[in-house]
Amino acid sequence: MSPLFCGGKDSVRISSRAYGVTADGKNVNCYTMKNANGMEARFLDYGCILTHLILPDRNGTPTDVVLGYDDLAGYESDPAYMGALVGRYANRIKDSAFTLNGREIRLTPNDGPNHLHGSLSKRIFCGTVGDGGLRLTYTSPDGEDGLPGTVRITVCYSLDDNNVLTMRYEAISDADTVLNLTNHSYFNLAGHRSGRVDGQLLQIAADSFLETADDTCPTGQILPVEGAMDFRRLRTIGGEPACEQMEMVGGYDHCYVLRPDAAPAALAVCPRTGITLTVATTQPGLQLYSGNYLEDIPHPGKGGVPYVRRGGFALETQRFPCAPNYPHFPSALLRAGESYRETTYLQLQVLQQL
């Protein structure tokens, strides 16, 4: 467990139920975790999706702080990866290509000429309940998304009575490949249907970030945070002065370089509800995405609510985008037979006063 969070005696209950059937006739299940504090997390074995994350706010009102859909059809047609596991390579690889062991690897382009997030969000995992949590497994075949190697992927979700939701990622490949896994939840700490998150506060333990081009791919340059890009102190997500990096991509869609000793990696606070989100991770980067195009999603959100621009923010803990093309970035290489292990912790708490 991260030193940020102390353990405790847990009384978490886990249940499962049938959720729906995919368009091609495959059954999907939903798993629900509840702790002693009234916090609840729901997951699908389709895409390892976190569909709900509910806790009482400072007034005792149950508040669902992640965006999503009411039915499986919404997640099947979702272009925004809401709540999903993304990979085999999360974030972008420019021009859908890189060199591995002297051979050019061509990926499936799905974001213009670039490769974005991969296809794991649309795969059905095998779910089992045990050891205090949910274990989801999937074997990604050689060549999936264009990547080499047959990769066995395991995602473990657990919840405790300290309101810590733990996400553990493990994998092993039979050939050299690259791998980058993360969760792509959109958070709104005032509640998923409450509109823009501009008044919510955010802090990120990063002194630098990756410069991006107008296609949101990194240029390879690592820049110091300053002005609108600086979250070293707690401040609002919206209302900041414009800067060139934000204007190019319509807001925040940037990878922050986490300080190696950072604990926590990020903190978000909603003054209205008192709900706070603390993030700790073993990963070197955190992609901040401010939901710049959520209004373009054709499917209504939970409760039939149409989501709006900046109606949620994503904090994606991960390896750096385009890392296979930039040797000075932390490596995303997974050698044959070696183990991939990364963990992210999300802790939700409620402050009575700010």
CA distances from 57 to 274, 303, 348 (A): 6, 19, 10
Of the candidates 115, 184, 254, 299, the residue annotated as catalytic is 184
How far is it, in rounded angstroms, from Cα 323 to Cα 169? 19
Using CA atoms, how far apart are residues 209 and 219, in angstroms rounded to an integer?
11
Can you tell me the distance from the alpha carbon of 73 to that of 301, in angstroms, rounded to the nearest whole number?
11
Structure tokens at 210: 């990756």
For the chain, how many residues are written?
354
How far apart (Å, rounded) are the C-alpha atoms in residues 39 and 54?
6
Is residue 316 part of the annotated active site? The answer reads yes
The per-residue DSSP string of 38-84 comes to S-EEEEESBTT-EEEEEEE-TTS-EEE-B---SSHHHHHH-SS-TTE
**What single letter denotes the amino acid at residue 295?**
E
List the one residue out of 9, 7, 15 whose CA is nearest residue 129.
15
Encoded tokens for 308: 């709006």
52 is catalytic: no
Which residues are the active-site residues? 184, 316
